């Protein structure tokens, strides 16, 4: 999971960071990987897994439900021989609200076996009293969660539930276009559907990580795609490195609303005590939108570890100076923005709640 990040950072100054850095999305995934490689915990362990988005989860799951978590009960310790599923420690009882793949009538109760005592990868989360979108598969005649923590999502409110439903159903429709073949090439129809899906998922904050992870939105985007992404950035501004993904997708797409919103985002980030490492790259993209030609900027991942703290401080000061000069040149007066509150149950692209 580190490789896509490093690939995206190599090359020209226009390279952009995938997923969140710092305490956000990428950091969480990187920590999971490192723990899987180096930590030997006394609790149950399993091999690390690559992040799975809603695109792959929908494909691999036998059953996808939006359901209420009624209760979670401990199970007697049972040793299984399959290394793919460590010992089950708990069972979650779900009451189905809606079924988005396969069939389970509303009101049906489903028992899902899972292991809450895993250290790495992070286990599936079943929170009694909340409604979960669960991606399930049968193993040994019992329901289990696809991809551990990636396979349980918690929409907050009707808007998020609608976004998850829309993205899962769109993934099903796109996968139905896939034609088995031996040449290893996908049909143009399937590739177009996959590109449409990534844009659709990126439009809502609840599914944005799924749309952007492992995807480069620039090539093949239509004018309609760019209009949709521009509107999403303005309506739901990202305060993490996903901003770079949007700016990459919107290169050459003029929009004063986007320019104003990005300026407000950067003003909030750069005036913080320590600007995120990618803030300078986002400023470079905004400068391009104003007709300027930024120079080369040293990526933080090339800085030796013994110089990192000093370089971070210097980078924060340098970017702050550049930002003040840029605002002065263009007479910008960014409006303050409020950020989204932490989620009750963090998703795969969220920093854990404090």
Q: Residue 327, class by beta-carbon neighbours within 10 Å (0-12 exposed, 13-18 middle, 19+ buried)?
A: middle
Please, are residues 330 and 290 in contact by the beta-carbon 8 Å criterion?
yes
Q: What is the structure's pLDDT at 87?
A: 59
Q: What is the structure's pLDDT at 4?
A: 36
Q: What is the structure's pLDDT at 169?
A: 98
Say whether pLDDT at 103 is over 70: yes
Q: Which long-range contacts (CB under 8 A, 24 or more apart) does 246-250 make?
A: 246/202, 247/16, 247/282, 247/285, 247/286, 247/289, 248/14, 248/16, 248/216, 248/217, 248/218, 248/285, 249/217, 249/218, 249/221, 249/225, 250/226
Least confident residue range of 144-158, 181-195, 202-216, 312-326: 181-195
Residue whose structure tokens are 């920590």: 31
Angstrom distance (rounded) from CA 48 to CA 143: 21
Q: What is the structure's pLDDT at 199?
A: 96
Instruction: Please provide residue 46's backbone torsions phi and psi, each rounded to the nearest 5 degrees.
Output: -150, 165
Q: What is the structure's pLDDT at 26?
A: 42
Mean per-residue pLDDT for 200-213? 95
* Residue with the larger pLDDT of the pair 278 and 340: 278
- Characterize 198-233 residue by residue with b for buried, 16 or more Cβ atoms within 10 angstroms of its Cβ, and e for exposed: bbbbbbbbbbbbbbbbbbbbeeebeeebbebbbebb
Return the structure tokens found at 309. Answer: 């703290």
Say whether pLDDT at 322 is over 90: yes
Say whether pLDDT at 218 is over 80: no
Q: Which long-range contacts (CB under 8 A, 24 or more apart) does 315-319 make?
A: 315/275, 315/277, 315/280, 316/273, 316/274, 316/275, 318/280, 319/270, 319/275, 319/279, 319/280, 319/283
Answer whether CATH 2.40.50.120 is correct for domain 54-78+85-155.
yes
Query: Which of 328, 246, 320 is CA-nearest to residue 289?
Result: 246
Q: What is the structure's pLDDT at 102?
A: 96
Q: What is the 3-state secondary structure (H, E, C) of 267-322?
A: HHHHCCCCCCCCHHHHHHHHHHHCCCCCCCCCCHHHCCHHHHHHHHHHHHHHHHHH
Say whether pLDDT at 125 is over 80: yes
Q: What is the structure's pLDDT at 182?
A: 57
Residue 45 DSSP symbol = -
| Structure confidence by residue, pLDDT tens digits, 131-185 | 999 999 999 899 999 999 999 999 999 999 999 999 999 999 999 998 876 566 8
Angstrom distance (rounded) from CA 93 to CA 80: 21
Share of the chain above pLDDT 90, in %: 59
Least confident residue range of 71-80, 153-162, 209-218, 223-232: 71-80
Domain ranges of the chain: 54-78+85-155
Q: What is the structure's pLDDT at 78?
A: 55
| Structure confidence by residue, pLDDT tens digits, 15-47 | 333 333 334 444 444 433 333 333 333 344 445
Least confident residue range of 119-123, 174-178, 313-317: 313-317
Q: What is the structure's pLDDT at 33?
A: 38
Residue whose structure tokens are 């799951």: 61
Residue 223 banded pLDDT, cuts 50, 70, 90: very high
What Rg value do the Cα atoms of the chain yield, rounded?
Answer: 22
| Structure confidence by residue, pLDDT tens digits, 262-311 | 999 999 999 876 788 899 999 999 999 999 999 998 887 777 777 767 77
Say whether pLDDT at 116 is over 60: yes
Mean per-residue pLDDT for 103-110? 96
Angstrom distance (rounded) from CA 67 to CA 109: 9
Share of the chain above pLDDT 70, in %: 80
């Amino acid at each position: 999971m580190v490789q896509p990040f490093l690939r995206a950072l190599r090359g020209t100054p226009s390279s952009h960071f995938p997923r969140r850095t710092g305490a956000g999305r990428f950091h969480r995934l990187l920590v999971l990987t490192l723990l899987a490689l180096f930590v030997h915990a006394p609790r149950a362990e399993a091999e690390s897994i690559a992040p799975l988005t809603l695109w792959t989860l929908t494909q691999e799951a036998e059953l996808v439900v939006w359901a209420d978590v009624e209760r979670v009960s401990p199970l007697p310790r049972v040793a299984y021989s399959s290394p793919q599923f460590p010992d089950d420690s708990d069972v979650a009882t779900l009451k189905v609200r809606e079924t988005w793949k396969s069939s389970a009538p509303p009101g049906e109760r489903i028992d899902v076996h899972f292991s809450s005592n895993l250290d790495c990868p992070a286990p599936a989360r079943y929170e009694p009293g909340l409604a979960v979108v669960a991606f399930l598969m049968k193993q040994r005649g019992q329901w289990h969660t696809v991809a551990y923590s990636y396979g349980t999502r918690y929409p907050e409110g009707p808007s998020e539930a609608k976004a998850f439903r829309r993205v899962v159903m769109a993934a099903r429709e796109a996968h139905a276009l896939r034609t088995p073949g031996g040449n290893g090439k996908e049909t143009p129809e399937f590739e177009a559907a996959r590109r449409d899906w990534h844009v659709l998922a990126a439009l809502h904050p609840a599914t944005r990580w799924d749309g952007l992870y492992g995807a480069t939105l620039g090539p093949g985007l239509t004018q309609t795609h760019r209009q949709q992404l521009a509107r999403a950035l303005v309506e739901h501004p990202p305060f993490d490195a996903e901003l770079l993904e949007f700016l990459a997708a919107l290169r050459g797409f003029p929009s004063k609303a986007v320019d104003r919103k990005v300026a407000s985002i950067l003003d909030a980030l750069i005036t913080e005590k320590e600007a995120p490492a990618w803030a300078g790259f986002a400023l470079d993209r905004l400068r391009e939108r104003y007709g300027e030609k930024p120079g080369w900027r040293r990526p933080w991942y090339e800085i030796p570890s013994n110089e990192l703290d000093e370089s971070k401080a210097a980078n924060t000061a340098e970017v702050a100076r550049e930002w003040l000069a840029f605002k002065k040149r263009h007479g910008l007066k960014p409006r303050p923005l409020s950020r989204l509150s932490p989620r009750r149950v963090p998703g795969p692209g969220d920093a854990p709640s404090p």
